[in-house]
Structure 1
Amino acid sequence: MLQGYTYIKGLGFGGFGKVILAREEISGRLVAIKSLNDKKNLSIDNIKHEIQILSRFYHPHIVIYHNTIETPDGLHFVMEYCEGGSFQKRMKEKNLSQSKVLKIILTIAKALKFVHDQNIIHHDIKPANILFDKEETVKLADFGVANTLGFTKLYLPPIISDYTAFVSDKRHDIYSLGITTIELLNRQHPFTGLSNEQIIKKLKTGDLGISHFPDWLQEIIFTATHINENARFQTIDDFIEAIENNNIAYEIDEKLIEAAKLSKRLKWLQSQKKYYTASRELPFYDKSLLKYPILRHQVGLYYLKTNQVTKAKNTFEELRSDHGILKTSKELAIINIELGYYSRAINFLKEHLLTKPDDPEGYNLLLECYFYLKRYNTGSKLCHQLIKTFPKEACFKTNIYLFDRLNSHAPHETDQKYQYTTNKFILLNRDIFHQSHSIINPNKKDNLLKKLIFCHYDLTKNPKYNDTLEISQNGKVINLPPNSIITIGRKDFNNIIELSGINVSRKHCAIIPLKKETWLYDLDSTGTFIDNQKVQNRVLLTHKHEIDIGQHSLTINVDKNKLF
């Protein structure tokens, strides 16, 4: 036993050593003593330095370090004793509500910010290291360089394969805190018993067992635990802000877009064999842009093509350390949007936009997620940014109306701003807003959102209307107004094609007849059937179709000049 302390009982043990409860003989206070046995593999000076830094400061939610003692048989830390035990032992408590867990997680995150501000990394965030004192004050324990040997692999990103050469990165703490949040809310670790490869697969597909969490919380956890550290929260401050606001603000990285443009130009120069021009431009690249993989990769290809082997080797070795980003992330995002898993879709889109930051369709998909998650303020801010960044993209100028209208405390003022618009999507959505009191079913969840039409990117790339579209009923061709979105619904509700019957919704569906593609959108109706198949959300019309609405049947031919 250490001189000056009286042993009371053991508190825990592991590969690092042991923790005991003791009484300090001079003061009489109870203390916990953690002993690290393997001095040979420890950086003693670094450990002492970090503990000395922390011991100088007081933080109400960090376990106090009283003393560090070095003996021939090991290194010993004398710490505050937290008799309330660890969160690990409390996880099964019935009164552990989601709000209580998140309040504790937020407290730990703020304590972690204090640690990070001292340029110290915890290395071992987990429920067992979240303690409670006798007043039930939550405390963060067991951190510092000492944990480079004592960390728990299950709480670290799976891409860290060489644990003995563990490189310090504050974002690893954020990942661990995200995994800890899942474990505390679900009462079990999401990856127990899984191999490294299985964990990577679950992280890539977003299969973390959190689909029952609120959407905003899912997005926060997906971001905190992202397999690519560049798509993760970059600082603990970002994590704290997201938890406090129940929201993650999305800011356009202008430099990333600039890097993407340079990458595209460099790729074009190489395709045109203009290597001399590339060699003249490359030295003038803003060095801060070369941190982005999208540009570094293209620069590496240039070095390789021009046989600058050493430069190519250095560039690709740096890139190799970055874990590969899914090339299918955009497609997976679209699939999840169609399935209604918007938080998971956001996770894939952020991943996609890291490699394709100049993709306006990717940003529009992100806006679609915000629209259906009712994050109108976030969507409005992003949409205004995108209009400035991509001034030629019509989808943003169209969808800004939806966000501004839904986010406004004075919707009539928003409508006045657009009173002279000729945009067909805005005109249709404005009409739906004006009729909402009579066409919305209050018993159907989100009925208004599903009546409104969010303008997809592809609809604005070929805006010419289809003048060969033909719709008939009982063999009689219906006269259609030119260059219009065709609404179908019950009589007396301002529809182009009016049908009768209680099985026809007041705004039932809408047809967007463009020259190169014609779409039918179901407006959360009582049921729209195309060729005997019920429409879910929207469907592409490609030839001659039979449409069934209530007791009515319509024939729609996307090109009356062709025989289908």
Structure 2
Amino acid sequence: MKIYNARCQCGSAIKMEMREDFSGQIFCGLCKKLIMSTLTQNNLEENLQRVGDYLLLKVLGHGCAGNVYLAHRDNDSKQVAIKIFDSTDQQIATRFNENIQTLSRLHHPNLIKIQGWGNHNNKMYIVMEYLKGETLKDRLQREVLPARRTLKIAYYILDALGYAHRKNIVHRDIKPGNLYITGEGMVKVIDLGIAKILGKTVSKTTNGEVVGNVEYTAPEQMENIQNISFQSDIYSVGATMFHCLCGRPPYAEYQGNLLQTFMGKKRNKYIALREQNPSLPPAVLHVVEKAMSYNGNDRYQTCDEMKEEVYELINILPK
């Protein structure tokens, strides 16, 4: 016999004493909800996976860096999201520890809150607030957003990034998949796992690859990862707005091919937003085109500068 401790999503604590030949289902004694089905001793350990003081309940999402889980904290019924990184590389762990200290001190309503971190089986993990809603990527799979709604989303992103930039932090991977829209309509910048303090040197990125989705990545970031600046994030905000306003990202005609996209960015050659959505107001097109200028010096130089222009347009455009 072996004793296991679990917790239902309703918050009820469950203590189980199992025989080695157990096979069956487990229901919560309080809410009667089915917790686990087709459970056997062989897969019990996997189903009751724990990370630190947390019980993992289910997978929320998969990413290139690792998985994100819904979890319960032991001493209460609070739900959190835990991202467990796949890598066990010591250099990555060192960089993680250096960056997480700074990231955990960021407090802004449009940045996801980091509530803790640690090491589990030689893999780093981050404990974050659990958000109910969907990513902007999910939303864009269903609809093209109106100009005013796109501008409001951009405003909140810029407010969060401006705060991070003043702390000398560049996100480096702004894209629809890293932007979350809660059930209350709040915009949150998520997945700060690859954010870096400017001026800190690293050996290279994992496998020597470019960080970020190529469609949203600034040209200088693709050429040399050491060239990343605050204007690189501003480019990615512009590229995200581009996607919102026409239903596909810039350079989508290259179908995600890294080399072709890189050469297209070198030539600054892509199907312009004004061609893909001719009905957009010229002032909105100007904001996106300026943010996505090939030369960083031609872009908005700060998030606050771009945010002010976005705010003016929000108040001018019809609701």
Say whether the fold is shared (TM-score over 0.5): yes
Shift of 1:22: 1.4
Give the structure 2 partner of residue 16 of structure 1: 65
Contact 1:204 1:227 in 2 (8 A): no
Give the structure 2 partner of residue 154 of structure 1: 215
| Greater RCO (CA < 8 Å, at least 6 residues apart) | 2
> 1:231, 1:69 → 2: CA distance?
41
> 1:161, 1:132 → 2: CA distance?
28
For 1:222, which of 289, 293, 296 is the aligned residue? 289
- Cα distance, 1:94–1:170 mapped onto 2, change above 3 Å: closer
For residues 397-437 of structure 1, the C-alpha deviation after alignment (integer angstroms, 9 at most, x for no partner) is xxxxxxxxxxxxxxxxxxxxxxxxxxxxxxxxxxxxxxxxx
> 2:99, 2:237 → 1: CA distance?
21
Give the structure 2 partner of residue 197 of structure 1: 263
Contact 1:20 1:34 in 2 (8 A): yes
Shift of 1:72: 4.3
Give the structure 2 partner of residue 73 of structure 1: 122
For 2:156, which of 103, 107, 110 is the aligned residue? 107
* Structure 2 counterpart SS, 1:155: coil
* Structure 2 counterpart SS, 1:183: helix
Contact 2:52 2:120 in 1 (8 A): no
Q: Which letter maps to 2:308?
A: E
Matched, 1:119 2:168: yes
- Cα distance, 1:181–1:152 mapped onto 2, change above 3 Å: same
Write out aligned runs for 1:445-484 (5 A). none
Gaps (5+ residues) in structure 1? 248-564
Matched, 1:172 2:232: yes
Contact 1:47 1:146 in 2 (8 A): no
Higher Cα Rg, which structure? 1
Q: Which letter maps to 1:85?
A: E
Contact 2:231 2:296 in 1 (8 A): yes
Q: Which letter maps to 2:117?
A: T
- Cα distance, 1:94–1:154 mapped onto 2, change above 3 Å: closer
Contact 2:143 2:247 in 1 (8 A): no
For 2:300, which of 233, 242, 247 is the aligned residue? 233
- Cα distance, 1:229–1:42 mapped onto 2, change above 3 Å: farther
- Cα distance, 1:31–1:210 mapped onto 2, change above 3 Å: same
- Cα distance, 1:50–1:211 mapped onto 2, change above 3 Å: farther
Give the structure 2 partner of residue 181 of structure 1: 241
For residues 168-203 of structure 1, the C-alpha deviation after alignment (integer angstroms, 9 at most, x for no partner) is 3111100000000010121211222512223444x3
Shift of 1:206: 7.2
RMSD of Structure 2 on Structure 1 (CA): 2.6
* Structure 2 counterpart SS, 1:88: helix
Q: Which letter maps to 2:230?
A: K
- Cα distance, 1:168–1:96 mapped onto 2, change above 3 Å: closer
Q: Percent identity?
A: 29
Shift of 1:96: 4.0
Q: Which letter maps to 2:215?
A: L
Give the structure 1 partner of residue 185 of structure 2: 136
- Cα distance, 1:27–1:49 mapped onto 2, change above 3 Å: farther
- Cα distance, 1:3–1:14 mapped onto 2, change above 3 Å: same
Gaps (5+ residues) in structure 2? 1-49, 197-204, 255-259, 315-319
Write out aligned runs for 1:280-359 (5 A). none
Contact 1:210 1:218 in 2 (8 A): no
Contact 1:155 1:180 in 2 (8 A): yes
For 1:207, which of 272, 296, 303 is the aligned residue? 272
* Structure 2 counterpart SS, 1:227: coil
* Structure 2 counterpart SS, 1:154: coil
* Structure 2 counterpart SS, 1:153: coil
* Structure 2 counterpart SS, 1:115: helix
Shift of 1:29: 1.4
Structure with bigger helix share is 1
> 2:222, 2:143 → 1: CA distance?
37
- Cα distance, 1:226–1:210 mapped onto 2, change above 3 Å: farther
Matched, 1:34 2:101: no
TM-score, length-scaled by structure 1: 0.40
Contact 1:206 1:222 in 2 (8 A): no
TM-score, length-scaled by structure 2: 0.69
> 2:304, 2:272 → 1: CA distance?
26
Number of aligned residue pairs? 245
